[in-house]
């Protein structure tokens, strides 16, 4: 039975069948609800899931009976922990280039959501990283909770913040963007709201009953306002944003005009001044993160994030896919996944091993497209 055949209005599948499917689909009051259903894997995306999501999104686009789309994750631990990088690693190390189709299809899915003609709501409750952020940030209404843990931690596996991060992180200041993108810092729901990566921060328990409110939603008037009313509680107290007090530190240490060497030097300098405990903890964890991540991808990520601030969404997608191809075929990705996720020895052998050894021409090479303009797999994006 296909996903479209199971799309019966307000009717769920039998529990035993639902448990087996990785994507669930239903319609309530003309609003489609798509659920990522791999809770044991924190709803991480397989290639098959990406393909099925693409079919469902297209179905929702063309079905005049559907006026909006809600994306959510099964369980209470994660919206989506990202893409299946273990499988990409397996294919890449075996010389199987089918991994490229995974990324091409993922980018096309994300672009379809970003340009969707009907409102998209993402319930970013729990963990949302990598590919999960690609889905969530494409939504018109991004809902986070006190359980949200949001990050783009790709530099720690020799990769870059992808799936549109060079575009969607640009809503914040350049300094905050560099901090989040280079360190892979985990953000709370309140932090995400403050940094404009979310539109509402609500109690997780409030989301548990959203379907009941959705059934009562009126279709008269503005649809976005009506949807917001479904997900926003009458009295909403947003938790404290932990990054708020650290703003001055982020502005100082992630100045867009500073080189990576300069960033590291100022972090070391301030650590040596014996700052207060909380400041010292932030300085040390930030320094340790940068020191442990791929030197090459730190340089490439910094440049890509700054370039993305001046580019369209389609241009960012094409730039990122080119970097993805370079990182997997010629860079640190396979070694990073081995060290962090396969062997888990946390001792990646980066090449080059230090920031000082990364040559400018290497950075330029990673940022240069591997394809001629018309041959790019995403060449048609933005042409409509």
CATH code at position 78 = 3.90.226.10
292, containing H or E segment? helix 277-292
**Is 275 domain-assigned?**
yes
* 111 occurs within a structural domain: yes
- Give residue 383's pLDDT: 80
How many domains does one find in the chain?
Answer: 2
Token readout for 333 is 């990705």
Residues 238-266 pLDDT 10s: 888 889 899 999 999 999 999 999 999 99
Contact 230, 214 (CB under 8 A): yes
Assess if residue 97 is contained within a domain. Answer: yes
Q: Give the domain-ending residue among 210, 231, 252.
A: 231
End-to-end, the C-alpha distance of the chain in Å comes to: 33
**Are 227 and 283 found together in one domain?**
no
Q: Going by C-beta distance under 8 Å and a sequence separation of 6 or more, which residues neighbour residue 36?
A: 22, 23, 43, 45, 49, 71, 72, 73, 74, 79, 80
The parent domain of residue 359 ranges over: 244-369
**What 8-state DSSP symbol labels residue 83?**
B
Residue 100 phi, psi (nearest 5): -65, -35
Q: Do residue 145 and residue 225 come from a single domain? A: yes
Same domain, 26 and 125: yes
Q: Check residue 346 and give its pLDDT.
A: 94
Residue 125 lies in a domain: yes
- Taking the CA atoms of 170, 122, 297 and 269 in sequence, report the sign of the dihedral they define: positive
137 within some domain? yes
Domain termination residue (choose one: 182, 209, 231): 231
**The model scores a pTM over 0.85:** yes
* pLDDT value, residue 18: 56
- Ranges of the chain with pLDDT below 50: 1-16
Dist CA 346 CA 235 (whole Å): 44
- Provide the pLDDT for residue 235: 86
Bridge-based pairing state of the strands 149-151 and 187-188: antiparallel
268 found inside a domain: yes
Residues 6 or more apart whose Cβ sits within 8 Å of residue 214: 28, 29, 31, 70, 230
Give the β-pairing of 200-202 and 141-145.
parallel
Domain edge (last residue) among 231, 253, 285: 231
In a domain, 236, yes or no: no
């Amino acid at each position: 039975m296909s996903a479209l055949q199971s799309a019966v209005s307000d009717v769920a599948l039998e529990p035993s069948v639902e448990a087996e499917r990785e994507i669930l689909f239903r319609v309530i009051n003309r609003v489609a609800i798509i659920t990522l259903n791999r809770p044991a894997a924190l709803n991480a995306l397989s290639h098959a899931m990406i393909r099925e999501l693409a079919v469902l999104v297209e179905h929702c686009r063309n079905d005049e009976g559907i006026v909006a789309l809600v994306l959510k994750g099964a369980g209470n631990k994660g919206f989506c922990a990202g893409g299946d990088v273990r499988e990409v690693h397996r294919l890449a190390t075996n010389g199987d280039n089918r991994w490229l189709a995974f990324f091409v299809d993922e980018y096309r899915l994300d672009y379809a959501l970003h340009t969707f003609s009907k409102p998209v709501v993402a319930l970013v409750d729990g963990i949302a990283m990598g590919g999960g952020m690609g889905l969530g940030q494409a939504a018109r209404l991004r809902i986070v909770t006190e359980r949200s843990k949001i990050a783009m931690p790709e530099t720690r596996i020799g990769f870059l913040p992808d799936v549109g991060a060079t575009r969607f992180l640009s809503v914040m200041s350049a300094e905050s963007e560099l901090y989040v993108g280079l360190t892979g810092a985990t953000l709370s729901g309140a932090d995400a709201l403050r940094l404009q990566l979310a539109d509402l921060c609500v109690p997780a328990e409030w989301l548990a009953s959203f379907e009941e409110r959705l059934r009562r939603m009126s279709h008269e008037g503005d649809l976005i306002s009506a949807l917001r009313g479904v997900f926003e509680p009458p009295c909403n107290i947003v938790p404290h944003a932990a990054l708020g007090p650290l703003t001055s530190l982020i502005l100082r240490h992630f100045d867009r005009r500073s080189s990576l060497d300069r960033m590291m030097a100022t972090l070391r300098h301030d650590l040596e001044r014996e700052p207060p405990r909380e400041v010292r903890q932030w300085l040390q964890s930030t320094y340790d993160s940068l020191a442990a991540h791929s030197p090459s991808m730190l340089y490439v990520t910094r440049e890509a994030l700054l370039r993305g601030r001046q580019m369209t969404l389609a241009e960012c997608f094409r730039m990122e896919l080119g970097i993805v191809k370079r990182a997997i075929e010629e860079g640190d990705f396979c070694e990073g996944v081995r060290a962090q996720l396969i062997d888990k020895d946390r001792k990646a052998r980066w090449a080059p091993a230090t920031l000082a050894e990364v040559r400018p021409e290497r950075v330029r090479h990673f940022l240069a497209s591997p394809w001629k303009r018309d041959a790019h797999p995403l060449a048609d994006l933005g042409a409509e």
